[in-house]
Structure 1
Amino acid sequence: MISITEAYVDSLAINASAMKNGRDLAKKKSFPMLGKSADESLIFGECKGSGKEPYRCSVDFVKPEEPVFRCSCPSRQFPCKHILGLMYAYALGSSFVTADIPADIVGKREKAEKREEKREEKKNEPQGEVSPKKKKTNQAALLKKIAAQLEGISLLEKLIHQLTQAGLGSLDKKTLKTLEDQSKQLGNYYIPGLQIAFRGLLLEIGSANDLKDKESIYSAIVENLGTLHTLVKKSRDYLSARLDNPDSPIDIETTLEERIGHAWQLAELKEHGRVRSGAELVQLAFLSYTDHARGEFVDEGYWVDLNSGRIDITRSYRPFRAAKHMREEDSVYQVVMPQELFMYPGEINARVRYEEAALRDAVTGDYVKIRDAAHRIFPDAIKQVKNQIKNPLSEKHPALLLSYAEIRRMDNEFVIMDEQGKAIILSDVAFPDRATTPLIPLLNKEVVHHQAMLVIFGHDMETNRLRVQPISIVTSNEIIQLLY
């Protein structure tokens, strides 16, 4: 017998609009026919559409952990609003008539069973002693691609030169538009990461020109311009070395390949040993934001691994043009146990990804593990952060879990103190548009002392000091998310 709740259906919707449309169909009783199999492993129905014929939809729970959604509508959304409406109708208690499983679904189930049998047979076939050969790289194609990348880098250098020659203070909208149009040519040279970095700089300059106090953010723009210059230089050196020696291995330790534009495939990460098993992840924070330079919506989660204490990041991208057809990520409140956890190259906070995972509810012991994994001595954590951010190409806002003895107000600012009395100032340094520090006075007194806090570091250029933005607080029995 299947169990469908409204929360479960909500989790399947690709966005809030799909969720609303599905609920509306159920509430407006747009299903003249609702049926279920005798064992309740299948629900199906007919939904009124714009045409003469109704849309036929079904949800097959023959494998409860892998439900199969089917609908005759032409929508590219998956699951579509008709399937969501069908499940909402079931969750809200609509009457479903017990009926025979439709013949077409019986046929599809049989085909699926045969495919599964073939997979099992292939899996159980005895393997020969000779392991399959590793796929050989097409060296000629690789050399051609690298040569094109180097050509694109030369073009990017010319655009940067035009930018700096004109002077940041004198750049008007027309000049920026011309540079933006010229930067589109970079799309022909297999360097999308570098193209995005340059476009981001142009957008930043454009936003500064709209402000009255331009000087307030020009120092940040100059710093980003310097970072882009370093990225271009290191990219050229790296690619030139690979052009001279195409057998040299791809860089799997730093983010350079990704910043040039390489999109890591899971098979690649696994081939290079960048996968771990046995992880148990708890989400400490989640946010969605718009990356105009990429032309994508980004869903980002901050996670702690209960077994290693690592703080990892999940990040999924939804291009503007296809966003309505892609499922939005959301906050997760259970412990996630991935079958395999794939790790992208990175530093303090590596990006991770998983395909299949089991879930369980968090228990008190989990929160204790998280608190025990926090850094107890602030200078040690600060040293680790400084070692990362002094590299021009490193992430400038690393996240760490800090154990604090007290949250205190000092000189009109909030600080967290470690057990040795060392203080770090709390400030909205990483996400100024999502202020979390003003939430500190609203915390219960119970969490002001001896808890753990997930923070994101940032460098305050005016004071030349590191500050941290509070993201979440972990107590002995809960996670208080300040960013979600």
Structure 2
Amino acid sequence: MAQITEAYIDALAPNAAAIKNGRDLVRKNSFQRLCRTEDGTLIFGECKGSGKEPYSCSADFVKSDSPTFRCSCPSRQFPCKHNLGLLYAYVSGVPFQMEEIPQDIADKRDKAEKREERKKEAAAAGDEPGVASRRKTNRSALIKKMNAQLEGIDLMDKLVKQVIQGGLAALDAKTAIMLEDQAKQLGGYYIPGMQAAFRELLLLVRAKGDQEQLYTAMMDQLTILHTLIKRSREYLTARKDNEGTMDTGSRLEEWIGHAWQLAEMRELGLMRTNAELMQLSFRSYTDEARGEYVDEGFWLPLGSEAAVEIVVTRHYRPFRAAKHIREDDSCFAIVQTRELAIYPGDLNPRVRWEDMTSREIEAKDYALAYSAAKRSFSDVIKLVKNQLKSPLADKNPVVLLHYAKLGKIEDTYVLEDEQGKRLVLGNIDAISHPTLQLLPMLDAKLFADQEVLVMFEHQMGSRRLTAQPLAFVTDDAVIRLLY
């Protein structure tokens, strides 16, 4: 069985309420029967419910990295609170009696094994041994979709030109509502990413605050939209004429609104096997333009073959379906996955995995983090500024830095590297939670020769590059300022 810890169970839970409810079942002694098999691959039991009959629940770890949860309750949450309670009971040391595997679960295992055999047979029939045959693309359907996308791009081009011709000064909340109604038409053209980018402009129109800064932000968004329209039109036209392939060197497909599938990412070589990652920081925020809640984690890949850049996970929960979708949360263990999907991106590519196990963080992991931190601020600033030059690049890159000193110059916190190059710290607009006020509470040892994870932003008001600290990494701990 996989190493089950409370952190592992918390990560499985669909939301915080499910964690509480699962723990409450153990606290209230709601489980009438708790069992496990001799080989340790299955735990199961019966839990008192609202009806006369108890609910039968089980956690099957015959595949340790992808456990199967079953429960007779009617809950739509997965895993349900009874499955979570079963796991919490197991890790808390509640006695489990030894039992043979129930016949119904044995039958389900047999069926699952036969399905796996059929998959292997299908893979063996592919062009290469052990490799699944490539997906067949319906060229006519693809052409039809790209024609629709190009029509949608033409429509968005008209909307953007309408804004420019009217002038930013003429934009008001009433105009924004009219444009929003027109922008809804973009929903039928398979360009949801571009539609969200246009809505971002409309949100700026409705925003209140310093008008000069808002106009600057609107001009930046118009630049993004202009670039996105131009590049997307050229890219889709080339693909439609069979003169181009999928763009895997930038986020253009994501900007248009393509939802990457694992199968196509495998075909395009966007996978890494047997990966380990350590989370350094985590946040949740609301993306009004996309109509989604976003759970975002910042991770350091570990291992000799790992890239030293920080990668990011993003879990999207649409407003309309949020209550049915599991929330992501902070992870305080090392995540291990057999297959890591790496999305096309910039300095901090998005990653994703389907199956995972976890282990406790060890001293070697902190040592790897120490060696991965960038030591030259000049090189980092050059790297960040080069990314910010591209209108479609991520405007808030995240970097793990090693610094020689952390201190204050008048009222401003400053990092200094070993060459004496300084970097200004501040609270940035991209993060709604300030962290600088926490710095006076840090241990004294953190003010020299340590690592810090920062998010960069070019701030319009000061016109300088500012970094906000997200977490500090020492030789034995990750001290999170944001989680």
TM-score by length of 1: 0.89
Q: Secondary structure at the match of 1:157?
A: helix
Matched ranges for 1:16-415 at <5 A: 16-31=16-31, 33-37=32-36, 39=38, 42-51=42-51, 53-91=53-91, 101-116=101-116, 134-208=134-208, 211=209, 213-243=210-240, 245-306=241-302, 307=304, 308-415=307-414
Q: Determine the C-alpha separation between the residues in 1 that align with 2:384 and 2:44.
A: 55
Distance 1:34 1:4, change over 3 A: farther
Q: Which residue of 1 aligns with 2:452?
A: 453
- Does structure 2 conserve the Cα–Cα contact (< 8 Å) formed by 1:153 and 1:232? yes
Alignment CA distance shift 1:392-1:119 (3 Å) = closer
Note the C-alpha offset of 1:16. 0.5
**Stretch deviating more after TM superposition (220-229 or 331-340):** 331-340
Asked whether the equivalents of residues 424 and 468 of structure 1 are also in contact (C-alpha less than 8 Å), the reply is yes
Deviations 1:40-66, CA, capped at 9 Å, x for gaps: 654444444455554332333445554
SS in 2 for 1:415: strand
Q: CA deviation at 1:182?
A: 1.9
Q: After alignment, is 161-170 or 274-283 more displaced?
A: 161-170
Amino acid at match of 1:195: Q
Partner of 2:418: 419
Separation of aligned partners in 1, 2:366 and 2:386 = 29
8 Å CA contact 1:152, 1:191 repeated in 2: yes
Relative to structure 1, the CA distance from residue 335 to residue 85 in structure 2 (aligned partners, 3 Å threshold; closer, same or farther) is closer
Report the Cα offset of residue 270 of structure 1. Answer: 1.8
Q: Structure 1, unaligned stretches of length 5 or more?
A: none
Judged with a 3 Å threshold, the aligned counterparts in structure 2 of structure 1 residues 74 and 181 are, in CA distance, closer, same or farther, namely: farther
Q: Judge which range, 427-436 or 464-473, deviates more.
A: 427-436
Q: CA–CA distance in 2 between the matches of 1:431 and 1:296?
A: 16
Contact 1:430–1:456, Cα closer than 8 Å, also in 2? no
- Residue 471 of structure 1 corresponds to which residue in structure 2? 470
- 1:406: how far off? 0.5
2:362 and 2:129 map into 1 onto residues whose CA distance is 46
Closer, same or farther: CA 18–393 of 1 in aligned 2, 3 Å: same
Deviates more, 1:165-174 or 1:268-277: 165-174
RCO (CA 8 Å, sep 6+): is it higher in 1 or 2? 2
Q: Tell me how far 1:411 sits from its aligned partner.
A: 3.3
Q: Secondary structure at the match of 1:400?
A: strand
Give the letter aligned to residue 145 of structure 1.
K
Distance 1:52 1:412, change over 3 A: same
Greater shift after overlay, 415-424 or 18-27? 18-27
Task: Return the letter of the residue paired with 1:294.
Answer: R
SS at match of 1:280: strand
Letter in 1 for 2:215: Y
Partner of 2:407, secondary structure, is strand
- Per-residue CA deviations over 1:202-260 (Å, capped at 9, x if unaligned) read 1232223xx4x4334332222122212221122122222333x2242121101111101
Counterpart contact for 1:78–1:325, Cα < 8 Å: no
Greater CA drift, 348-357 or 53-62: 53-62
Contact 1:374–1:452 at 8 Å: present in 2 too?
yes
C-alpha distance in structure 1 between counterparts of 2:350 and 2:381, whole Å: 21
Mark the CA change 1:336 to 1:97 in structure 2 (over 3 Å): closer, same or farther.
closer
Q: How many residues are aligned here?
A: 479
Bigger shift: residues 66-75 or 397-406: 66-75
Distance 1:172 1:207 in 2: 10
Give the 3-state SS of the residue equivalent to 1:372 in structure 2. Answer: helix
SS of the equivalent of 2:456 reads strand
What are the residue-to-residue correspondences of 1:6-25 with 2, within 5 Å?
6-25=6-25
Asked whether the equivalents of residues 66 and 355 of structure 2 are also in contact (C-alpha less than 8 Å), the reply is no
Counterparts in 2 of 1:36 and 1:251: CA distance versus 1, 3 Å:
same
CA distance in 1, matches of 2:4, 2:271: 33
1:322 deviation in Å? 2.5
Q: Could you tell me whether the CA contact under 8 Å between 2:425 and 2:468 is conserved in 1?
A: yes
| In 2: Cα distance, 1:363 partner to 1:311 partner | 19
Pair 1:7–1:271, CA change in 2 (3 A): closer
**Alpha carbons of 1:218 and 1:381: their partners in 2 closer, same or farther (altered >3 Å)?**
same
Q: Is residue 123–residue 131 contact of structure 2 (8 Å, CA) maintained in 1? A: no
Shift of 1:294: 1.4
CA contact (8 A) 2:7 2:331 kept: no
- Any unmatched runs of 5+ in structure 2? none
Question: TM-score scaled to structure 2, two decimals?
Answer: 0.89
Helix, strand or coil at the partner of 1:252: coil
Change (3 A) 1:106 1:349: closer
